[in-house]
C-alpha cells in the first residue's frame, strides 16, 4: 500500500503517542462493508477488491480499492475510487476529523476518570464496611463479656441472698427455741427462783453491766455457732448435725447459767426488798 494511508492500515503512521490507537479508528463508522458495493472491482488475483476510506491529511474521506488480502500475502492492487477533494473541503474535513478525534479522546478520558473514581469509591466503601464490621464485632464481643459478667454477678448475689435468708431463718429459729426454753425453765422454777429470775430480767441492765458484756459476747458466739450448725443440718439433713445443734443450745444454756451465777447477790437482794 502507498503512503497515502487508510483507515485500516497506514493511517496510523501519521499519528504517534498515546493517541495512536484511538486515531487508528475512523472518525465516523462505516455505513457499509468493504465488499458491499457494485459493480465489483477485481484485484490481480481475480478476487473482489475491498473498498476503504482514507482519513490521511492529504486525502481525507477519499475512498480507494485494495486487495482484500493485502495484509495477509495478497497482491499489490491499489486504486482510488473518488477524485481528489477541493482544498477547502479537504481542510474542512480535516478539521471535522480532528474535532471528532479530540472529543472522543476527551470522552474516553472522562470515562477512564469516572471508572477510576468508581473503583476508588468501591474500595473506600469496602474498607469502611470492613472497619465498621470489625468495630461491630468488637462491640458485640465486649457486650457478650459484660453480659457474662452480669450473669455471674447476678448468680453470686442470688446465692448470697439465699444464704442470708437461710441464716436469718436459722437465727429466728434459734431465738424461738431459746425463748421457748426460757419460758419452760421459768414455769418449772420454784416461786422464789422465778421471782429472782424475773427480777434479773428486769434489772439486769442496771445491776450487772460488767457481767452483761460477757454474757452477750458469749451468747452471741454460741448463737452464731448454732446458726451455722443449723444451716448444715438444713442442707445435709443429718441427724448427727442436728444433735450437735442441740448440744450447742445446751452449751448456751450453761453459759447463761454461769452468767447468772456471776450476778451480784447483794444487788439482787436489794432489788427484791424494793420490789416487796
Tell me the per-residue pLDDT of 179-224, one tens digit each, with 9 for 90 and over.
666 666 555 545 555 555 455 445 544 444 444 444 444 544 555 5
Q: What is the pLDDT of residue 117?
A: 92
User: For residue 110, what pLDDT band results from cuts at 50, 70 and 90?
Assistant: very high
**pTM of the shown model:** 0.40
Is 64 in a helix, a strand, or coil?
strand
Q: Which has more confidence, 29 or 192?
A: 29
For the CA atoms of 67, 69, 74, 76, the dihedral, rounded to the nearest 10 degrees, stands at 30
**Percent of all residues in the chain with a pLDDT value above 70, rounded to a whole number:** 56
Nearest to 228 by CA among 153, 174, 154, 160: 174
Q: Tell me the mean pLDDT in the region 47-54.
A: 90
Q: How confident is the model at residue 116 (pLDDT cuts 50, 70, 90)?
A: very high
Please, what is the average pLDDT of the chain? Answer: 72
| pLDDT classification of 21: cutoffs 50, 70, 90 | low
- For residue 230, the model assigns a pLDDT of 54
| pLDDT for the residue 265 | 47
120-132, pLDDT tens digit by residue? 999 999 888 888 8
Q: Give alpha helix (H) positions in 189-208.
A: 191-207
For the chain, how many residues are written? 276
**C-alpha to C-alpha distance for 160 and 96, rounded to whole angstroms:** 94
Whether the per-residue pLDDT at 35 is higher than 50: the answer is yes
Output 265 or 33, whichever has higher pLDDT: 33
Contact indicator for 30, 11 with CB cutoff of 8 Å: no
Give me the mean pLDDT over the 27-53 stretch. Answer: 88
Amino acid at each position: 500500500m502507498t503512503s497515502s494511508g487508510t483507515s485500516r492500515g497506514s493511517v496510523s503512521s501519521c499519528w504517534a503517542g498515546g493517541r495512536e490507537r484511538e486515531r487508528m479508528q475512523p472518525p465516523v463508522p462505516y455505513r457499509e462493508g468493504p465488499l458491499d458495493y457494485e459493480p465489483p472491482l477485481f484485484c490481480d488475483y481475480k478476487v473482489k477488491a475491498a473498498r476503504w476510506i482514507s482519513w490521511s491529511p492529504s486525502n481525507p474521506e477519499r475512498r480507494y480499492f485494495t486487495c482484500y488480502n493485502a495484509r495477509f500475502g495478497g497482491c499489490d492492487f491499489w486504486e482510488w475510487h473518488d477524485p481528489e477533494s477541493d482544498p477547502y473541503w479537504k481542510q474542512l474535513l480535516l478539521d471535522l476529523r480532528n474535532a471528532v478525534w479530540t472529543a472522543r479522546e476527551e470522552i474516553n478520558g472522562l470515562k477512564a476518570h469516572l471508572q477510576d473514581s468508581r473503583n476508588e469509591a468501591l474500595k473506600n466503601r469496602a474498607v469502611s464496611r470492613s472497619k465498621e464490621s470489625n468495630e461491630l464485632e468488637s462491640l458485640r464481643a465486649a457486650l457478650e463479656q459484660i453480659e457474662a459478667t452480669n450473669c455471674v454477678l447476678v448468680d453470686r448475689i442470688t446465692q448470697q441472698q439465699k444464704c442470708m435468708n437461710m441464716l436469718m431463718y436459722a437465727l429466728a429459729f434459734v431465738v424461738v427455741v431459746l425463748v421457748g426454753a426460757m419460758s419452760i425453765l421459768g414455769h418449772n422454777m420454784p416461786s422464789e427462783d422465778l421471782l429472782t429470775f424475773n427480777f434479773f430480767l428486769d434489772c439486769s441492765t442496771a445491776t450487772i453491766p460488767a457481767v452483761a458484756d460477757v454474757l452477750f459476747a458469749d451468747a452471741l458466739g454460741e448463737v452464731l455457732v448454732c446458726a451455722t450448725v443449723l444451716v448444715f443440718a438444713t442442707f445435709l439433713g443429718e441427724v448427727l448435725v442436728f444433735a450437735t445443734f442441740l448440744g450447742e443450745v445446751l452449751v448456751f444454756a450453761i453459759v447463761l447459767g454461769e452468767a447468772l451465777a456471776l450476778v451480784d447477790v447483794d444487788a439482787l437482794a436489794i432489788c427484791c426488798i424494793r420490789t416487796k
